[in-house]
Structure 1
Amino acid sequence: MKAHGPAVVPAVDRRTVLALGCALGISALAGCSLAENATGTATPTPGSTDAEAEADAGLKLKASGLDTPWSMVARQDGSILVSERDTARIMALGPDGKLTELVHLPQVVPSGEAGLLGLEIFTETGGIEWLYAYMGTGNDNRVVRFELQDARVGPAQDILTGIPRASIHNGGRIKLGPDGLLYICTGDATDRQAAQDPARLNGKILRIMPDGGIPEDNPFAGSPVYSIGHRNVQGLGWDSADRLWISELGPEKDDEVNLVRAGGNYGWPEVTGVARDPRFIDPVHVWAKTSDASPSALAIAEDVAYVACLRGERLWVLPLPGDGPPTGGTLTGAREMLAGQEGRLRDVLVVGNELWVATNEGAESRIIALPMGSLG
């Protein structure tokens, strides 16, 4: 079993060779087909710059000079916090565009896909702001939290420890659900059969209280496990009906988007893709070729999922279905944006009326924003 690897294309080429958009005077994004590249980016004219071409497309550069950013989260003060996987730094991007280091976490031991991964913020009723981080230590993956104090953080508090780690398949996304609980994605950490064992924390969606307690209505009594049978989940979000959706990396085929049910079994490693096996829940959307996706983060706005992809080097736009019969593994209206333009995409976040995207290009990584109105 092989992990998805990076496509070997120089970052400068991806940004210089911008794809054709809806040219010839057709500026409405909705009229673009997949082959036309749905960003609506025009071909640069002789003498034009990359910045000019991106401005024509509505893209805005929010930050550059980041080193392998993994997760973005918004604070109450309008700043955006960004984790860097390999440097173990959490960076703060202010409303003025200034990028500063908030904290360095020496307890993080990066290796391969492990390191400083997901971030989330929970604000208590009294106004205390807690920052949560999913990190790889020398012994495990764990979730810790820090009290945010203006431009400083308090000491780390362990919230959930003992999640198996490996050089690949560490999951790592954390999100606060509409029920006020924390949902945590874990990978199988290369122990495939552990994904089917409810007593193990790898290959799961976990659900805990903000202080680390176990919700009484979790499907496995006394356990943080919420669903099982996952290979490597890195994206999750909720639609307007509070349904939980996840994006999941497959092996050499069958990257998936799944609709998660409490206690559900999603099949790994017994099956991938649409198996029609009554023991398992089939995905709602499948990419047969990992070169088209290898999905990382997922964000949902107006019941449309935006999925950032690694090997696929594109942003997928997926209108989510309402309740009804199974889709058979294909969502109607799925289309792609930014194909080949920004390299590997790691995270995506809705910020006001913009969709922010963090690239995964090592020291060349950056954060860009697209106006939500251009995504319709």
Structure 2
Amino acid sequence: MLVSACSGAPEQADPTTEPGRPTTPSAPTGDTAETAAPAVADVATGLEVPWGVAFLPSGEALVSERDSTRVVRVAPGGAVEEVGTIEAAEPGGEGGLLGIAVSPDFARDSLLYAYLTADSGNRIVRMSYAPATGLGEPEVIVDGIPASSIHNGGRIAFGPDGMLYAATGDAGSGARSQDTDSLAGKILRMTPEGEPAAGNPFDNLVYSYGHRNVQGLAWSQDGTMFATEFGQNTYDEVNLIEPGNNYGWPEVEGMGRRQEYVDPLLTWRPAEASPSGAAITAEALWVASLRGERLWRIPLTGRADAVLGTPEALFVGDYGRLRAVAAVPGQDTLWVSTSNRDGRGSPAQGDDRLLSVAPTG
């Protein structure tokens, strides 16, 4: 397996990379699985690089736009309304207003969280939100996450333990990923106030390390945590995340089979993935792909010796670059955002859009 050092490559890998087939240690390579195609419909159109999707208890969703720094509210019927902008966010390259998360106690505390690129680096903020008044003043709860025009990570989500998790990138310097005192190239775990969560392995915010650029976080019903990660030029990854584990970057890209590093559950060639958002519903892990311009459906097997089944590629090239995936609470439905206005895509009429995907058709 290739051992590579960081070259500062952007989230979209070298276009000369040869396409390959997705591989898992537990499933043979070859044709991907085929099941009934999900039903797809537009929820909203005319968005500008929608990066994060977070559902409110009302069934509406708040959506962050990376480059405009707006937060918009999207109703299930498709109505879109701006609820505010986050002025501290400074768009540039892969930075700007990135992931958002609604507090699990939103009915009580009315808090919204956001990950953004500011003038002094990446940070996590929280603010109040109410339909009548919009966004409150952001409060910084974590600062000092290294930022760059590339590899900012940016996904945030509350886990089943009630803690807030944040995915960061190496900001173009792979050495940071191996430094457990740095917040770059990590998955962070914190209290809702931004303090290190009890049980973190290094007595700081760091939960796992050795990551290049993580943009997808998801948990199965039994609490298993998955993350999607951009490779450099050879292998993108899906990893099973456990506290204190070292996932190898920049010493390893893909399957290293070295005792000191944890190998991914699944790898792709970047030409068919460049994986961003992830979500779990309908007994599968769903992964949005940017360069690959497809949605991956990966069955959850329920087996300890083979956690993931054979991946299936859906909508290849149909909607362009796909960025965010969010499971609609209480439904076997996903909302998936396109990212065709991010400077790397080819926008079609109506882009960017938010799609409703019904996995059972």
Using the size of structure 1 for normalisation, the TM-score is: 0.83
Structural mapping, 1:249-260, within 5 Å: 249-260=230-241
Structural mapping, 1:231-242, within 5 Å: 231-242=212-223
The residue number in structure 1 matching 2:113 is 132
Structural mapping, 1:96-111, within 5 Å: 96-111=77-92
The residue number in structure 1 matching 2:67 is 86
How many positions carry a matched residue from both structures? 329
Check conservation: 2:12, 2:274, Cα contact below 8 A.
Answer: no
Give the superposition deviation at 1:34: 6.1
The residue number in structure 2 matching 1:335 is 312
The residue number in structure 1 matching 2:27 is none
- Please provide the CA RMSD for this pair: 2.2
Check conservation: 1:34, 1:336, Cα contact below 8 A.
Answer: no
The residue number in structure 2 matching 1:200 is 182
Structural mapping, 1:224-235, within 5 Å: 224-235=205-216
Cα distance in 2, alignment partners of residues 257 and 320 from structure 1: 13
Give the superposition deviation at 1:373: 1.2
Check conservation: 2:11, 2:151, Cα contact below 8 A.
Answer: no
The reply on whether 1:307 has 2:287 as its aligned counterpart is yes
The residue number in structure 2 matching 1:297 is 277
Helix, strand or coil at the partner of 2:360: helix
Check conservation: 1:313, 1:340, Cα contact below 8 A.
Answer: yes
Cα distance in 1, alignment partners of residues 32 and 261 from structure 2: 34
Q: Which has the higher mean CA deviation after the structures are superposed, 291-300 or 208-217? A: 208-217
The residue number in structure 2 matching 1:153 is 135
Give the superposition deviation at 1:349: 1.1
The residue number in structure 2 matching 1:71 is 52
Give the superposition deviation at 1:270: 0.4
The residue number in structure 2 matching 1:263 is 244
Give the superposition deviation at 1:154: 1.5
Q: Which runs of 4+ in 1 moved over 4 A?
A: 33-40
- Structure possessing the higher relative contact order (Cα contacts under 8 Å, 6 or more residues apart): 2
Give the superposition deviation at 1:81: 0.8
User: CA separation of 1:7/1:266 partners in 2, compared to 1, >3 Å: closer, same or farther?
Assistant: closer
Helix, strand or coil at the partner of 2:238: strand
The residue number in structure 2 matching 1:51 is none
Give the superposition deviation at 1:125: 7.9
Give the superposition deviation at 1:211: 1.0
Helix, strand or coil at the partner of 1:194: helix
Percentage identity across paired residues of the two chains: 40
The residue number in structure 2 matching 1:359 is 338
Check conservation: 1:240, 1:303, Cα contact below 8 A.
Answer: no
Give the superposition deviation at 1:64: 0.4
Give the superposition deviation at 1:323: 5.0
User: CA separation of 1:66/1:6 partners in 2, compared to 1, >3 Å: closer, same or farther?
Assistant: farther
Cα distance in 1, alignment partners of residues 230 and 35 from structure 2: 23
The residue number in structure 1 matching 2:357 is 370
Check conservation: 2:281, 2:333, Cα contact below 8 A.
Answer: no
Cα distance in 1, alignment partners of residues 98 and 126 from structure 2: 13
Equivalent AA in structure 2 for residue 369 of structure 1: S
Unaligned runs of 5+ in 2: 1-6, 16-29, 342-346
Check conservation: 1:6, 1:344, Cα contact below 8 A.
Answer: no
Check conservation: 1:144, 1:156, Cα contact below 8 A.
Answer: yes
Which has more radius of gyration?
1
Equivalent AA in structure 2 for residue 312 of structure 1: G
The residue number in structure 2 matching 1:211 is 193
Q: Residues 102-140 of structure 1: CA distance to partner in whole angstroms, max 9, x if unpaired?
A: 111111111000000000011438712210000000111
Check conservation: 1:206, 1:226, Cα contact below 8 A.
Answer: yes
Greater helix fraction, Structure 1 or Structure 2: 1
Helix, strand or coil at the partner of 1:160: strand
Q: Which has the higher mean CA deviation after the structures are superposed, 162-171 or 143-152? A: 143-152
The reply on whether 1:5 has 2:9 as its aligned counterpart is no
Equivalent AA in structure 1 for residue 315 of structure 2: L
Cα distance in 1, alignment partners of residues 206 and 177 from structure 2: 11
Cα distance in 2, alignment partners of residues 354 and 257 from structure 1: 22
Unaligned runs of 5+ in 1: 9-32, 41-56
Check conservation: 2:36, 2:360, Cα contact below 8 A.
Answer: no
Give the superposition deviation at 1:4: 3.8
User: CA separation of 1:135/1:159 partners in 2, compared to 1, >3 Å: closer, same or farther?
Assistant: same
The residue number in structure 2 matching 1:12 is none
